Chains A and B, each alone.
Chain A
């Protein structure tokens, strides 16, 4: 006798367990039967089969779509990580990741949020312990891509503020992240980007498609020069609509850390800079701060009033 059809929640719970089973639907059903959650691995009580396809085969269509859709999303988010580990290893990484971190947000945008930390302890990092930091850089770029807009502070606004009050309070735009990494991964990012540009150029000669599948570009691991292990600050921000990043020196990082915590005055930043540049005189620190502020204004990193 067949098992009775389950209600809506039980149907969906079971459907999920079957399509998310890492080995596929049929082994998943066998495992559920062994655990006593199914009377038998025969899924005909749930899904109708026919001469063309049985219940498990029909569910497999969804299982494949589930995995490949999420794999492609993560491959788009972490193109550099995917390139250096290669297609097969990335595929297995995603399998492990989705078991530990299934999507819990309505937007795919957040699927990869836990990937940097996951990579830190994943076996793939035994050979390349800098993978987590490379993923942190990639994720920060995604994070600022659609962060809130804000008007940039202009040189005129800053001058006017200083003239009015004798000091200026500065703050960073929302589309800005300061990363403190253990590895200098910016050159790895550049190497893969350059290789990727070459690959896309080659693809363009073979296809009229405007948008190919970038995640399919590197089936084999891409050889890159391993990064140096050193404390590295990387600033990631969005200037108008384009995402940028650059490595920052220790003293600039100290200032940006203060700014990341909220608004900071020029006077406070001057003190921070002085401490970060041990033994330097005040005049040199003041010149350095003026240079940094000028760079930040140019990069549109500072938030203005928009007035």
Chain B
């Protein structure tokens, strides 16, 4: 029997993107919640915050960041954390998440989710910084696994071992990106189910689903396609293991009409409900992410 995550049951959401602002604000939707890219709303005013306030009036919102750079060798950016804390105070998000990666060093920012070496040094560094971030924000955060295209020679842990240990040491949640697991499994030649099996079930707060593109010798995490069948298959395995985890569909480039995105989320909902119904009460559980800290 699987163990269960301590998490709120937000249900099924999508990433809120600019082309859908008008549609989302003008009529009810078939999704339960929205995730927004935190940095797009860490601004002084104007349309972004106006839209976010109006969406938040009707839906739960999760703040999902891309610039925390939790694994950077540079000091944590206190100005960034202050802006994030202010946004969280305004939005009252269900939770705050970012990525297990680094985005820059030496004061320069690549604005990309760069992979970490899975070493003891990096593990201690990341766990300590997650604790500092959580203290500043006054709440636990969730970290997401990224797609990766290389492995450092120095790595002595697998990614899932590293992620699980960061979560254990820092008391943070895990945002499990099913597409990223699949992309990395192809790029590095590991079994994605082994990855799922290595993640502590009580730490998983959220799933991400997305599409990717095939570059021939590797898969690229592009978020510009529908969720492909192998990712749906892996999602099925993830739900079987982790239960009714809130699930979000991301689509960031070549963004389709709203109805297409909504249909992807509805498909995730149907699939999760089928699996939960077949499994019975053993997979039913839920609480507040604050309990996981």
Contact = CB atoms under 8 A, between A and B. Distances in A.
B154 A175 contact: no
Given A19-B110, A104-B108, A209-B256, A5 B46 contact: no
A76 to B, nearest CB: 11
B165 interface: no
A211 B18 CA distance: 9
A175 B45 contact: yes
Interface in B92-135: 102-112, 114, 116-117, 119, 121-122, 125
Interface stretch (A55-63, A279-287, A297-305): A55-63
A148 B80 CA distance: 18
Contacts of A241: 46-47, 50
A47 interface: yes
B218 interface: yes
A102 B108 CA distance: 6
B123 to A, nearest CB: 10
B80 A106 contact: yes
Contacts of A57: 217
B45 A13 contact: no
A69 B46 contact: no
Interface string A37-64: 0000000111110101101011101100
Contacts of A65: 112
B44 A147 contact: yes
Nearest to A149: B45
Contacts of B153: 5, 44-48
Contacts of B69: 106
A62 B46 contact: no
B254 interface: yes
B218 A52 contact: yes
Interface stretch (B3-11, B144-152, B234-242, B264-272): B144-152
Contacts of B102: 12
Contacts of B48: 146
Nearest to A16: B105
Interface in B2-48: 17-20, 39, 42-48
B73 to A, nearest CB: 4
Interface of B: 17-20, 39, 42-50, 67, 69, 71-73, 77, 80, 102-112, 114, 116-117, 119, 121-122, 125, 149-154, 189, 217-218, 220, 254-257
Given A47-B151, A47-B152, A145-B46, A12 B109 contact: no
Contacts of A238: 46
Nearest to B23: A210
A219 interface: no
A296 interface: no
A1 interface: no
Contacts of B220: 61
A227 interface: no
30 contacts: A5-B154, A8-B122, A11-B154, A12-B102, A12-B105, A13-B73, A13-B105, A13-B106, A47-B151, A53-B217, A53-B218, A61-B149, A61-B220, A62-B112, A66-B111, A102-B108, A102-B109, A104-B107, A104-B109, A106-B67, A106-B103, A108-B111, A109-B43, A145-B46, A145-B47, A146-B48, A148-B44, A150-B45, A209-B254, A211-B255
Contacts of B80: 106
Contacts of A209: 254-256
Given A8-B119, A45-B153, A16 B255 contact: no
Interface string A154-180: 000000000000000000001100000
Nearest to A105: B109
Interface string A52-88: 1101011101100110011001000000000000000
For chain B, what secondary structure do more than half of its interface residues adopt (helix, strand, loop), or is it mixed? loop
A229 to B, nearest CB: 33
A173 to B, nearest CB: 10
Given A5-B154, A58-B149, A106 B44 contact: no
Given A61-B218, A104-B108, A146-B46, A210 B256 contact: yes
A22 to B, nearest CB: 14
Nearest to B150: A58
A13 to B, nearest CB: 6
B72 A66 contact: no
A62 B149 CA distance: 8
B44 A174 contact: yes
Contact of B109 (A62, A103, A146, A149): A103
Given A55-B150, A69-B112, A104-B108, 15 more contacts: A11-B117, A12-B105, A53-B218, A65-B112, A69-B111, A102-B109, A103-B104, A103-B109, A107-B42, A144-B46, A146-B49, A149-B46, A208-B257, A211-B255, A241-B46
Contacts of A6: 154
Given A46-B152, A61-B150, A15 B114 contact: yes
Contact of B217 (A52, A109, A208): A52
A106 B150 contact: no
A123 interface: no
A9 interface: yes
Interface in A205-220: 208-212
Contacts of A105: 109
Contacts of A208: 256-257
A5 B106 contact: no
A9 B105 contact: yes
